Amino acid sequence: MDFIGAGLSSLASILIFALVAAGVAKIFQIAGTLSEIKELLADIKRNTDTQVPTVPFATTESAESLLRAVSAELDHPVTQKN
């Protein structure tokens, strides 16, 4: 009977060790997945922060003056309509 008890004890020990090892491996897998999700969320936030504002110029006058300044540098004069 001592052999059966020792065998069952060894089997239980191996089974418990395997379960603990599988649990630790699963925890590392979850941690890796969470870090990937964190990086993706940071990328999404970074990409949405760099979007063009909905109103690029406060007034149309400032847009016109900017266009005139650029066209003056390119030697393409822009005439003003009044």
Q: What φ, ψ does residue 58 adopt, rounded to 5°?
A: -70, -40
Q: What does the alpha-carbon distance between residue 6 and residue 13 come to, in Å, rounded to a whole number?
A: 10
Confidence of residue 57 (pLDDT cuts 50, 70, 90): low
DSSP assignments along 2-17, one per residue: HHHHHHHHHHHHHHHH
Q: What is the pTM of this model?
A: 0.50
What's the confidence (pLDDT) of residue 59?
Answer: 64
* Tens-place pLDDT, residues 7-47: 999 999 999 999 999 999 999 999 999 999 999 999 988 88
Q: What does the alpha-carbon distance between residue 82 and residue 69 come to, in Å, rounded to a whole number?
A: 18
Q: What residues does each domain of the chain span?
A: 2-51, 54-82
